[in-house]
Structure formats: structure tokens, C-alpha cells
Amino acid sequence: MEEKGKVLEINGNTVKVEVESAACGECDHYRICNPTGEKKTIELRNDAGVKAGDRVTVAIDNAVFSRVAVLVYGVPVLGLVAGYLIGERVFGSEPAGIAAGTVTFIMVYVVLAVLDRTVFSRKDRLNSRIVEVIGDPTPDNAPES
């Protein structure tokens, strides 16, 4: 999957890119992923030698993207179902199963958030990379002489 974006800042060997997701315009559920409508920023290695303000194309490996989607959406749902079944069997009532499922669902999201900030943040996120520099800064962002 490729997305267009703009380099916001450079921090040593990494760059922060504001991504303009074309896929969100095609998806009926874009408000679920991005309810505020804010543009997303990602941090990448600066292998292409880009400068702040450059427009770039960012590529994300589709297989990795699919695995992340399963991790973010599938694992919590499995936690919800497992929590419900365990709670219902241990406590013998449907309300207890619902409560246990809800607690498990929330706990899985908390664990994923902690892992995202610790373990996963050290890896090359989604194997994203800059594949093309589209152009220099646009006139509204170009430095004045």
C-alpha cells in the first residue's frame, strides 16, 4: 500500500511524515479509524535524504499491514469471547460472562497499547519506507527570501 505525505520535521536519521490517506476516502468506515479527521503522522528512517516540506510517497508492506489489522481488531475480539465463556462457566451466569468478557476486552487493549509503546516501538513500524520524493516544498510552505 502506498500513501502520499509531507515531511514535517527531521530528527537525526528519522523523519516525521504527515500522511494523506487515499484509502480513507474510499472506505465507508473512515470515521471509526479517524473520528477527528486529523491527518496521521508516522516516523520513518530518512534513507531517501528528504528535507522538511518535501512531498513523498510512503510504502507500507501489505502483509505486515494485514497482520497488524488482525492484531488490533482480532485479538481483542478473541479476548472478549474467551472472557465471556470463562466468566459464564466460572460464575454460572450470563451477566458475569458479559462482565468478564468486557473486562478481558479492555485488558487486551491496554496490553496492546503498552506493547505498542515499548516493544513494538523499537521495531521498524509496519516496514514503512519512503519510496519516492515527489517534490520540494509547496509554495505556501517554502521559506521566504
Same-domain check for residues 26 and 37? yes
Query: What is the structure's pLDDT at 94?
Result: 95
Cβ–Cβ < 8 Å for 53, 16? no
Same-domain check for residues 67 and 51? no
Sign of CA dihedral 76, 80, 82, 87: positive
pLDDT score of 5 more than 70: yes
Query: What is the structure's pLDDT at 125?
Result: 53
Query: What is the structure's pLDDT at 80?
Result: 95
Same-domain check for residues 10 and 55? yes
Query: What is the structure's pLDDT at 144?
Result: 47
Query: What is the structure's pLDDT at 37?
Result: 64
Same-domain check for residues 21 and 40? yes
Q: For residue range 94-125, list pLDDT tens digits in order.
A: 999 999 999 999 999 899 888 877 766 555 55
Give φ, ψ of 124 to 5 degrees.
-70, 105
Same-domain check for residues 121 and 132? no
pTM of the model: 0.56
Q: Give the range of the structural domain holding residue 48, as residue numbers without chain letter.
A: 1-60+128-145
pLDDT score of 142 more than 70: no
Query: What is the structure's pLDDT at 50?
Result: 83
Sign of CA dihedral 34, 39, 41, 47: positive
Q: For residue range 37-95, list pLDDT tens digits in order.
A: 667 777 888 877 888 888 888 877 777 777 778 888 899 999 999 999 999 999 999 99
Task: Please tell me the distance from the alpha carbon of residue 96 to that of residue 106, in angstroms, as a whole number.
Answer: 15
Cβ–Cβ < 8 Å for 109, 102? no
pLDDT > 90: what percent of the chain? 23
